[in-house]
């Protein structure tokens, strides 16, 4: 049976069950596993010999936390990550993840209304990890994220998106988006879905991985997710490519 594409409501329900008494995961644990999967997907597709410089773009929510974890693992893998946070997260777990990256001497661009720092970083990068908006995003895109998405989309660099491309609707994808004047739709080359793919990425035509090897078999069966098997110690599994 084919893997199940899930709605925002079901994705939230599964997350809540993973973190309640029956699942017993902490948010930090789930972010660690999700971020590791994202870093592994980058390494799988983009060899560090050619794509060594990774610009990790992090939003202020849980998506951004996954990005910070991924940046740390990419540094451990031998890549040279740089972190860009248009608006850093304020929660304690986010600050801890940021500190972990600082302790590894991973460069972090200063948040600024100016796009000069981001433009320079894009010119000095080989690939982008997009961890700005998650499945709870609702448009339009507001400053400072609008300027960031414009530069990222127009950079010409390959993009790896976490869970859902930033700005896409979790239910309908990139159709009918109202992102705001002049804000383009991101077209990533690689997508790393977490838990199970979301409804809005059914038509995604790039390389598509499932990551976050943390869903118990009993939960996958309960929600009829039809998850594929992960090979060996891999944290990701590639899904069949959609024929457009």
Cβ atoms within 10 A of the Cβ of 52, count?
Answer: 16
Q: Tell me whether residue 135 is annotated as binding.
A: yes
Rg of the chain over CA atoms, in angstroms? 17
Q: Tell me whether residue 140 is annotated as binding.
A: yes
Residue 124 backbone dihedrals phi, psi, to 5 degrees? -110, 20
Length of the chain: 244
Q: Tell me whether residue 137 is annotated as binding.
A: yes
Q: Tell me whether residue 136 is annotated as binding.
A: yes
Distance, in Å, from the CA atom of 41 to the CA atom of 77, rounded to the nearest integer, reads 12
Q: Tell me whether residue 130 is annotated as binding.
A: yes
Instruction: Give the three-class secondary structure for 130.
Output: strand
Q: Tell me whether residue 62 is annotated as binding.
A: yes
Burial 194-216 (b: 16+ CB within 10 A, else e): bbbbbbbbeebebbbbbbbbbbe
Q: Tell me whether residue 235 is annotated as binding.
A: no
Q: Tell me whether residue 134 is annotated as binding.
A: yes
CA distances from 75 to 109, 111, 117, 128 (A): 16, 21, 21, 14
Q: Tell me whether residue 66 is annotated as binding.
A: yes
Compute the Cα dihedral for 109, 138, 68, 43 and give only its sign: negative
Q: Tell me whether residue 64 is annotated as binding.
A: yes
| Annotation: binding site for (6S)-NADPHX | 62-66, 134-140, 163
| Annotation: binding site | 62-66, 130, 134-140, 163, 166
| Annotation: binding site for K(+) | 63, 130, 166
């Amino acid at each position: 049976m084919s893997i199940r594409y899930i709605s925002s409501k079901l994705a939230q329900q599964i997350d809540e069950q993973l973190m309640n008494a029956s699942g017993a995961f902490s948010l930090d644990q789930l972010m660690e596993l999700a971020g590791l999967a994202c870093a592994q997907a980058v390494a799988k597709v983009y060899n560090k010999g050619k794509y060594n410089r990774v610009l990790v773009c992090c939003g202020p929510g849980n998506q951004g936390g996954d990005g910070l974890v991924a940046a740390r693992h990419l540094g451990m893998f031998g890549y040279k990550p740089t972190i860009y946070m248009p608006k850093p997260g304020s929660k304690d777990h986010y600050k801890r993840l940021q500190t972990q990256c600082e302790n590894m001497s991973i460069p972090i661009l200063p948040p600024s209304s100016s796009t000069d720092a981001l433009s320079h970083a894009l010119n000095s990068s080989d690939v982008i990890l997009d961890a700005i908006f998650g499945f709870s995003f609702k448009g339009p895109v507001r400053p400072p994220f609008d300027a960031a998405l414009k530069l990222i989309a127009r950079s010409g660099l390959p993009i790896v998106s976490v869970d859902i491309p930033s700005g896409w609707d979790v239910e309908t994808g990139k159709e009918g988006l109202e992102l705001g004047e002049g804000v383009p739709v991101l077209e990533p080359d690689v997508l790393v879905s977490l838990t199970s793919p979301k409804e809005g990425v059914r038509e995604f035509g790039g390389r598509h991985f499932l990551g976050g090897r943390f869903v118990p078999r009993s939960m996958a069966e309960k929600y009829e997710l039809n998850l594929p098997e992960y090979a060996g110690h891999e944290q990701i599994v590639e899904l069949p490519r959609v024929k457009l």
